[in-house]
Amino acid sequence: MSASHVVIVGGGVTGLSAGWWLARSGVSVTVLDKFIVGWEASGRNGGGASHYQSPLFDEEQRLWPQMEELLGYPVEHQKGRMIIAMTERQWEQYRFVAERHHRLGHPVEVLDTKQVQEAVPLAGNNCFGGVHYKFGGHANPQRSVQAYAWALQDLGGKIIQHSPVTGFETAGGKVTAVKTATATYGCDAVVVAAGPQIPQLMAQLGVNVPLAPARAEMIITEPAPMMPLTGVDGHKLYGRQTMRGNLAYGGGPHEWIDVDATGPKARPSTPLMRNLASRLAELFPKAAHLNIIRSWAGVIENSPDGRPILDRLSSPDNVTVASMSGVGFGLSPASGHAIRDLVIDGKCSFADIDILKLSRFDKLEADWREKRGWMPIS
């Protein structure tokens, strides 16, 4: 199909990567964002890049080591992950995961306490052991979103910030333009990658996209001495040591919320930071004296099965919907590639992503959120 001009709704990491991939293919791209690129969950997450559950996994792994060079801007990608067990039950679970990786052909090594401490000196004698993933890694979300945005601009793409999308113009079964309060952007194709705002936007096109927004929290410490391995999870936490040395960690219960068409009104963190702190102090007993200097929250949307929705619709047939269902940052190099393929070729060239089609929810019950308990407290 010819798509000489594509409008992307949403300057989060998924929309920006899609825009960058399209611009690399010579497409004229305009990204519209309600505020500043990467301002929501795309710039607030744990930065992990090890998503073996995804059909996009191989492409994620192939691309991350090249991203800094491809984009031309720093992304702080670091290789490798470790997951450390702090209870007997976790140790059982993590070894199960290690066996699964062996079966799937992903290189992992099960380590005892001493071996864990060699790679992760902040870990204590209280850990049961760890599983070292010799794949995956992490990157700096804030730096990476800006890198995508700048790289996209360097290829001639446009980023229009502070411009919430209000609606669409359609003709002949296609979207012909995307509207903001002050302008109308004509297009040959549209990518709707607006996170929690996707359902409201797609409803305007008569398309039901089941997504529920929630809020999750993270904390960060002052810098710690750099560890040989910086992508360390475990004890039901996820996170990373930044290249500056800070320990940035999240995990724990989320809060389901409602988000209207204008996006989250606030992203408050809560005293849950104390529970993140206690777990982090147990995971890294040698860092327990370090100061926590910030906490924050982000809003992510989830599909009913927790898997992404990446789909070029049949009607309107020039619309591609993209939600990564709360796990978007790490997969972004690959999700952008997949979206580029869907927009230009109608099909992903490097992986079978049929499982991510929107039609899997055609028979979803209307009260799917209530059934799952995914409703906000009223």
Partner 1 sequence: MELNFTGTDICAVNGTRGTPEAYYDVVVVGAGPSGIAAATEAKQAGKSVLLVDENPISGALMGNDVPLYFGGRMTAATQNSERMLEAVFMSMPALETAMEAGVELLLGTTAWGVYRNGPGVATLPEQLVGLADAERSWLVGFGQIVLATGARDLALAFPGWNQPGVMGAAALQMLLTRYDAFAGRRILVLGSHDLALETALLALERGLEVAGLVEVRDIPQGKADLVAKVKAAGISIRCGQTIASAKGGIDGVTEATLSGGETIACDTICVAVGLVPSIELVDAMHGPRTLNATRGGYIPAGEPTVSAVGDCAGLPDTGFDHIAYRTDWMRALSNVSADDTIICQCEEVTRADLIGVQPPHYLNRAAPMCARSLETLLKDGPANPDQIKRLTRAGMGVCQGRRCRDQVAMLLALESNVPFGTIPLASHRAPVRPLPMKILADWNEPAELTAAWDVWFGIPTQWVPVEDIGTKHEDEHRAMLYTGMYL
Enumerate residues 161-180 that contact partner 1 by CB under 8 A: 161-162
Distances from the Cα of 237 to the Cα of 87, 253, 338, angstroms: 13, 11, 29
Q: Which of 28, 164, 166, 255 contacts partner 1 by CB under 8 A?
A: 255
Considering only residues 357-376, where is the footprint of partner 1 by CB under 8 A?
370-374, 376
**How many whole angstroms from its chain centre is CA 362?**
25
Interface map 331-360 toward partner 1 (x if CB under 8 A): ------------------------x-----
SS3 136: strand
**Cβ atoms of 60 and 104 closer than 8 Å:** no
Interface map 131-160 toward partner 1 (x if CB under 8 A): -----------xx--x--xxx--x----x-
Using the CB atoms, write b or e for 88-114: b if 16+ within 10 Å. Answer: eebbeebeeebeebeeeebebeebebe
Q: Which of 7, 257, 313, 342 contacts partner 1 by CB under 8 A?
A: 257
Considering only residues 111-130, where is the footprint of partner 1 by CB under 8 A?
none
**Close Cβ partners of 142 (under 8 Å, ≥ 6 residues apart):** 38, 43
Interface map 70-89 toward partner 1 (x if CB under 8 A): --xxx-x------x-----x
**Does 295 engage in binding with partner 1 (CB under 8 A)?**
yes
**Cβ atoms of 23 and 29 closer than 8 Å:** yes
Q: Which of 135, 256, 350, 361 contacts partner 1 by CB under 8 A?
A: 256
Q: Which of 177, 222, 350, 357 contacts partner 1 by CB under 8 A?
A: 222
Considering only residues 272-291, where is the footprint of partner 1 by CB under 8 A?
272-275, 277-281, 287-291
**How many whole angstroms from its chain centre is CA 203?**
23
**Does 228 engage in binding with partner 1 (CB under 8 A)?**
no
Which region, left, alpha or beta, applies to residue 252 given φ > 0 means left and ψ of -120 to 50 means alpha?
left
**Does 197 engage in binding with partner 1 (CB under 8 A)?**
no
How does DSSP classify residue 277?
H
Q: Which range, of 68-76, 122-130, 175-183, 203-211, touches partner 1 by CB under 8 A?
A: 68-76
